[in-house]
Amino acid sequence: DMLSHDIGNYIQAARGFLELVEVVGKLEDKALKYLKRSEKTMGNIMALVDNVKSLTVLRNREPTLSPQDLREVVERTWEMVLNSLKAEELKGAELEVCFERGEYTIMCDFSILNIFENLFSNAIKHNDKERVKVKVSAKVVEEGLLRICVEDNGPGLPADMRERVFNRFDRGVKEGKISGYGLGLSIVKLAAERLGGRVWVEEGEELGGTRFVIELPLKG
């Protein structure tokens, strides 16, 4: 924890200097392009550090479950993700939630934030559309079990990648483009299992991208 904390501090400082150069410096287009790439690389490194920290906590800390309203969790996490991105990264992202507050209560802890944060971030960052759309729906599939679907309008995942994508550092390949999911989806899988659930991937039916399906216990 101390090591990742120190690394994070150094990365944040470096990002701050890069942003300062962009603001005060008079840069040519080519230099500005490389500066933007450097900022993005720093952001990716910071995300990796955060994911390693999340994996460590998920593996080593016993869950302490409490009832949480699903819509509140979804909306709060969506706002967290939007606030963590720069304006040019948002791609006009829109969220549609197909259930009301108070409709579903799940038993969870902070792990639920890891699930939605990674799914929402991937839906935005790995999307090739001008306007990102994300839809979250839910239904009870049997007594005490809730099925949550998170679908986007991105490029989707080939059928042969839908199991592998949960492996650490595996990557989804689509039309010659490589989108690195890194540790994010392995965190989603670990977090779902930690909460007594499971997760898998399907082809999106309504938005045409990827649909992640999470099954979690409802409040008893």
How many domains does the structure of the chain reveal? 2
**Domain match, 90 and 150 both:** yes
Query: 80-138: per-residue pLDDT in tens?
Result: 999 988 787 888 999 999 999 999 999 999 899 999 999 999 999 888 888 999 999 99
| DSSP calls for 99-135 | S-TTS-EEEE-THHHHHHHHHHHHHHHT--SSS-EEE
**Domain match, 206 and 126 both:** yes
Q: Could you tell me the residue range of the domain that residue 33 belongs to?
A: 2-60
**Domain match, 186 and 167 both:** yes
Query: 35-69: per-residue pLDDT in tens?
Result: 777 777 777 676 766 766 767 776 777 878 899 99
The last residue of a domain, from among 45, 60, 75: 60
**Domain match, 99 and 75 both:** yes
**Domain match, 45 and 122 both:** no
Residue 6, pLDDT above cutoff 60: yes
**Domain match, 134 and 80 both:** yes
What pTM was computed for the model? 0.75
